[in-house]
Structure 1
Amino acid sequence: MMNWDDMRVFLAVARAESLSAAAPLLKMDPATVGRRITRLEETVGAPLFVKSPQGYALTEQGLRMRDHAAQAEAALSLAMDEGQAVDKGLSGQVRIGAPDGCANFLLPQVCAAIQAENPGLEVQILALPRVVNLSKREADMAITVSPPDAGRLTVQKISDYRLHLAMRQDSSLPTTMADLYGVPVVGYIPDMIFDKELDYLGTLSRDGVQMASNSVAVQLQMLRHGGVGIVHDFALPCAPELTRVLMNELSLLRSFYLVRHLSDRKSDRLNRFAEALLAGMRAEIARLEAQAA
């Protein structure tokens, strides 16, 4: 006879596609996860995964079971939400996936404020140099710089944000774009740009990017040692030695979007968290951009 704990293990492996990746999420060792999957397959009487050196891929039986298990998971989550009275605050775990610029310079303070008002809440911030996969439940919700155009998802615009060229204040500051000739350019590793909205160096990188990283936070640290690059205005208060340059020649406007599972739209707990997150991010972007002005 199967129980929910068996389904929890099965879903984790189905989403992570490997025992080693699923194990930390389950707080088990990979060998234990493997034994649990073997036991589940024996109970079902059919293989649920095709095992290979590349990982665990679902069989047709496994795909059918995954869909039913995901529906049961959503129903269980809603049932748990019913037990959380509004006046008792939020509790449980919420994981947010976000690009690292947002994860480094906005989410820590915003989420800390939400958690302080809800002591029973555990907030996890997943910073990845790629789009977070919600269908595999890598996170409960994700912040993106482009709205997705596929999948069973809901999308809300959070806020616009601005970016400008920045350099050290004690360097030779340019008065025209031509003055940047020969100045090392800091930016993304070109073949690791995972969203077209992040490909914003344009002609500035015509001679290549001399200092590159897939992390916005690392790029900011690089700029502290020299060069020129495009920086989020909301990140500049964290680097007072940098200043914006050539603002009339280059000023970018981008947007953040909150993306959620369509199946979570009835979750009062996640809806309330999303409302607090939206309000907190809008206020924090406005506050930090005002400091950079």
Structure 2
Amino acid sequence: MTPNWDDMRIFLAVAREESLSSAGRILKIDPATVGRRIARLEATLDSTLFTKSQQGYVLTPAGQRLLEHGLHAEEAMRAAAGAVTGPTKTLSGQIRIGAPDGSANYLLPQVCAKISDANPDLDIQILALPRVINLSRREADMAVTVSAPTAGQLLVKKISDYKLHMVATEEYLKRHDPIRSIADLKGHRLIGYIPDMIFDRELDYLNDIGVDRVALASNSVSVQLRQVCLGTGVCVAHDFTLPFHPGLRKILTDQVCLTRSFYLVRHQGDQRNERLNRFADALTRGIRDEVLRLEAGPDA
């Protein structure tokens, strides 16, 4: 027998959330019903699609194979809906963006607020995670990344370059030995990412400048900046975060100036989705403009 779309929709939700209760919350149905529908789908296909583990519901090999076809079906349903409704003046529905927490905290809130103002019927969700967003499992409709993925069927578009510098508070610099060169950093407390939790080589800033010890570490940019603002040490910071932390001062600007890039990554199957294309264009323009504005500083 062929599974119906409603059962496939429930299957996709459980595959993404790895939980009956989380899937039910998203679908607005109770977890017991979700479980019964999954059992019905498994009976229809005569295959076990999930195994229960301590981490939740994990796809079996058969489930993995079904997931690929389910995602294609979902993309086809979205495209069909867009073809029927046609272009509209404003966007509606729900769109989820995945992003590392630097951009999620300091760029996306104001960018998404402006898009929301122009599209009052649109629900925008920002998924801030210190790891690569899994688009293949539809964790998000699109993702902002710090490197361009080379594997998978994805649409990748460069958004903007951005700068990073070393920073500290005036108070910290007055209380400690002067920092005139990179070599002087060895006498100071460095703040940065947890080394074995750096999920993208582009985030390994301190290694790039020869620092081999991180005394205070976090997988969150916001936590790192909070620690620096308390006057506890020195870190590498995005220039676009500095207007939010006026107490921080750039140091070693003639020796340390890193350039990184943001990319917008999407499902290849969405390239004809007019709604997502319009949102992606607005998001790209918004991030690019916001990086330029914040890097220019308060006097620009």
Contact 1:236 1:292 survives alignment (8 Å) = no
Cα deviations by residue, 1:146-168 (Å, 9 ceiling, x for unpaired): 11110011100000000000000
Say which SS state the counterpart of residue 111 (structure 1) adopts: helix
Contact 1:166 1:245 survives alignment (8 Å) = yes
Q: Which structure 2 residue ranges, 5 or more long, are not aligned?
A: none
TM-aligned CA deviation for residue 85 of structure 1: 4.5
Cα deviations by residue, 1:98-147 (Å, 9 ceiling, x for unpaired): 00000000001111111110111111000000000000100000111111
Q: Which residue, 271, 276, 284 being the options, matches 1:278? A: 284
1:223 is matched with which residue? 228
Whole-angstrom CA distance in 1 between matches of 2:110 and 2:84: 28
Amino acid at match of 1:38: A
Whole-angstrom CA distance in 1 between matches of 2:203 and 2:184: 24
Under a length normalisation based on structure 2, what TM-score does the superposition of the two structures give?
0.90
1:65 is matched with which residue? 66
| Number of equivalent positions | 292
Contact 1:185 1:204 survives alignment (8 Å) = no
- Structure 1 residues 169, 292: CA separation in 2 closer, same or farther (over 3 Å shift)? farther
- Structure 1 residues 91, 83: CA separation in 2 closer, same or farther (over 3 Å shift)? farther
2:123 is matched with which residue? 122
2:156 is matched with which residue? 155
Whole-angstrom CA distance in 2 between matches of 1:76 and 1:32: 23
- Structure 1 residues 220, 29: CA separation in 2 closer, same or farther (over 3 Å shift)? farther
2:187 is matched with which residue? 182
Under a length normalisation based on structure 1, what TM-score does the superposition of the two structures give?
0.92
- Supply the RMSD in Å over aligned alpha carbons: 2.1
TM-aligned CA deviation for residue 267 of structure 1: 0.5
Aligned ranges for residues 1-293 of structure 1 at < 5 Å? 2-170=3-171, 171-172=173-174, 174-202=179-207, 203=209, 205-206=211-212, 208-226=213-231, 227-291=233-297
Say which SS state the counterpart of residue 297 (structure 2) adopts: helix
Q: Which structure 1 residue ranges, 5 or more long, are not aligned?
A: none
Amino acid at match of 1:222: Q
Whole-angstrom CA distance in 1 between matches of 2:21 and 2:190: 39
TM-aligned CA deviation for residue 76 of structure 1: 1.1
TM-aligned CA deviation for residue 28 of structure 1: 4.2
- Structure 1 residues 209, 46: CA separation in 2 closer, same or farther (over 3 Å shift)? closer
- Structure 1 residues 165, 2: CA separation in 2 closer, same or farther (over 3 Å shift)? same
Amino acid at match of 1:189: I
Contact 1:84 1:90 survives alignment (8 Å) = no
- Structure 1 residues 108, 54: CA separation in 2 closer, same or farther (over 3 Å shift)? closer
Amino acid at match of 2:261: S
Whole-angstrom CA distance in 1 between matches of 2:162 and 2:64: 40
Cα deviations by residue, 1:36-90 (Å, 9 ceiling, x for unpaired): 2112223344433344445434445434433332222111111222344444311
Say which SS state the counterpart of residue 96 (structure 2) adopts: strand
